[in-house]
Structure 1
Amino acid sequence: MDEGQQKHRYFIELAYKGTNFHGWQVQPNAISVQEVLNKALSTVLREPIETLGCGRTDTGVHATNFFAHFDTSIAIVVDHLAKEKPELAMGEFRLVKAVNALIGYEVAVKRFIAVKQDAHARFDATSRSYEYHVVFEKDPFKREFSHHVTNKPDVAAMNEAAKVIMTYTDFSCFSKSNTQTFTNNCKITRAEWVEQANGLVFHITADRFLRNMVRAIVGTLLEVGKGTLSIDGIRKVIESKNRSKAGESVPAAGLFLTEITYPEETLKSKS
């Protein structure tokens, strides 16, 4: 992009199957969602594009709702305006089709939103929601999207423990060690197990999450469901602020990032 050239900022909404990706974020010697998205956008828009995501998902984690932002010199407009004024460059519908054609079937771009120049996909997000899927019977068609648990746990006990978790804010015990976060405090507004045919889904929403936090919480709650950890015990785990006291992290395959919320003014298209 030429120095002094007008920049336009856009949010991009997408979804992806994380099985074959080493997470969202670009990293050396491993394929990531961000890397393939950057390459596709750069090819279609014919200039270097660097996206910044609403967060980072780990290897094998999926996202049914994910946002990133990027800057470009190209004015992306709705198609009827692009037809009336071809000098405005590219229409959104055309861009979605072009990027999806390059990016492969494991990533799907849904839409582009023109936003203000200071809009930020990560810092403007007010909440994030995840689901973790557990199945009780072996199913080859769900292997990449769920965690197989042989015996049904005590769901009522796990939900009682989930309520306890919501009364705390410091979740150091559920975080990977040596992370570069300024605080391990998070505000959880939902933590609930819901039964479904042949399985369970754990729903959790918070203003932010620590690395590996959801998978560690699920692993710890399953210990409660198996009867190896008491409700009082989970209080002690959290208050210890020690990752080794919590349960094992469950596999990434069952985890989905399902919703990112923003203030209305952030996603309102720039006039």
Structure 2
Amino acid sequence: MTTQRYFIELSYDGTNYHGWQTQPNAVAVQEVLNKALSTVLRQPTETLGCGRTDAGVHAKVFFAHFDFEAMNHVPWTLRETNTIIRSLNSILPKDIAIKSIFPVAPEAHARFDATLRSYEYLIHFHKDPFKNGYSWELRDEPDLDLMNEAAAIMMEYKDFSCFSKSNTQVKTNNCKITNAEWILKDGGIAFHISADRFLRNMVRAVVGTLLMVGRNEIEPEAVRTIIESKNRSNAGMSVPAGGLYLTEVRYPFVGER
């Protein structure tokens, strides 16, 4: 028997899921994907994802890896791969879509080998039934210039304990943010942020804190005090999950897809 590791690229609407990671008493994307892969590949198949998204968060791009074991297996041909993708998409629910599957080295790791992750948070200002659950509706428009001033300050720091969900078991709360900015988009605004890694609930807490700046509740420089406090209770509220999207995950061995 030989084993080949594969990366699988997918996207999903997180509305009906309790996040990516399989857990008891709640439906998660990973659980649904593992079941579909096990059915199509005709062997128990477990995936490991590039990270974990919170309940209700969407992923325009998401990667996971899995191992396939067979007698004298060689990587699937393009035709075989396309057949597997079509089979998976035919049995998966409409809110999960497989984009690609490709072979990688045995040691390749969807989580630990990722060098950059990017998120987008969407906000709109007028009632729109087609944005409900996919963008957060606010009544008053915040000051983008002030929020961008505060966002730039964040890139001077590494320890973001103040934005992390409590009682998370991680070795470090350090992250290297390489981009953080607000832009006008589709009649509303969008926050873009990229980093080598993110803490649990971090982006939603960052957005809530920057909105405090945009509403003139605190000065941009107050973000320094909040970050340096390393205390979650000093940061802003965690904004609703429906406006948040994972938009990019980069690997040194995966080109533009």
Shorter-chain TM-score bucket reads over 0.9
Query: What residue is the counterpart of 1:33 in the other structure?
Result: 29
Map 1:53-92 to 2 at 5 A. Answer: 53-74=49-70, 75=73, 76-80=75-79, 91-92=80-81
Counterpart residue type for residue 21 of structure 2? Q
**Residue among 20, 24, 31 paired with 1:24:** 20
User: Is 1:129 equivalent to 2:118 in the alignment?
Assistant: yes
Query: What residue is the counterpart of 1:215 in the other structure?
Result: 204
**Residue among 229, 242, 246 paired with 1:253:** 242
Question: Equivalent residue of 1:77, what SS?
Answer: coil
Which structure 1 residue ranges, 4+ long, deviate > 3 Å from structure 2? none
User: Is 1:107 equivalent to 2:103 in the alignment?
Assistant: no
2: CA distance between counterparts of 1:118 and 1:63?
25
Tell me the CA shift for residue 234 of structure 1.
1.1
Tell me the CA shift for residue 144 of structure 1.
1.3
2: CA distance between counterparts of 1:149 and 1:191?
21
Query: What residue is the counterpart of 1:203 in the other structure?
Result: 192
2: CA distance between counterparts of 1:198 and 1:137?
9
Counterpart residue type for residue 20 of structure 2? W
Tell me the CA shift for residue 229 of structure 1.
1.1
User: Is 1:44 equivalent to 2:40 in the alignment?
Assistant: yes
Tell me the CA shift for residue 79 of structure 1.
3.9
Tell me the CA shift for residue 78 of structure 1.
2.5
2: CA distance between counterparts of 1:234 and 1:118?
40
Tell me the CA shift for residue 109 of structure 1.
0.2
Deviations 1:3-23 (A, max 9, x none): xx2111000000000000000
What is the identity percentage for the equivalent residue pairs of Structure 1 and Structure 2? 59
Tell me the CA shift for residue 110 of structure 1.
0.6
1: CA distance between counterparts of 2:186 and 2:247?
20
Q: How many residues align?
A: 252
Counterpart residue type for residue 43 of structure 2? E
**Residue among 150, 155, 162 paired with 2:151:** 162
Give the root-mean-square deviation of aligned CA atoms: 1.0
User: Is 1:151 equivalent to 2:150 in the alignment?
Assistant: no
Query: Which runs of 5 or more residues in structure 1 are unaligned?
Result: 81-90
Q: TM-score, normalized by length of structure 1?
A: 0.91
Counterpart residue type for residue 249 of structure 2? I
2: CA distance between counterparts of 1:66 and 1:221?
26
